[in-house]
Amino acid sequence: MEEEVFFNYLKVALQNLDSTKALQFNIEMEIRRLLKQYSPEQIKEKIK
């Protein structure tokens, strides 16, 4: 899934959960930061 498609799904999910625009923005920016900083393998390891 392309990054922008993922973020579109994320925005709709957050809207469905009645999140504020500020919270939606903060979550999107944090995910973008994590995508730049960590590989998928590193994220899996952090979740464990």
pLDDT at 8 over 90: yes
For residue range 17-46, what is the model confidence (pLDDT) as tens digits?
A: 999 999 999 999 999 999 999 999 999 999
The Cα 48–Cα 26 span in angstroms is: 24
Q: Is the pTM of this model over 0.75?
A: yes
pLDDT at 1 over 90: no
What pLDDT is attached to residue 12? 97
The residue range of the domain holding 37 is 3-47
pLDDT at 9 over 90: yes
What are the DSSP calls for the chain, one per residue? --HHHHHHHHHHHHHHTT--HHHHHHHHHHHHHHHHH--HHHHHHHH-
Q: What total of structural domains would you count in the chain?
A: 1
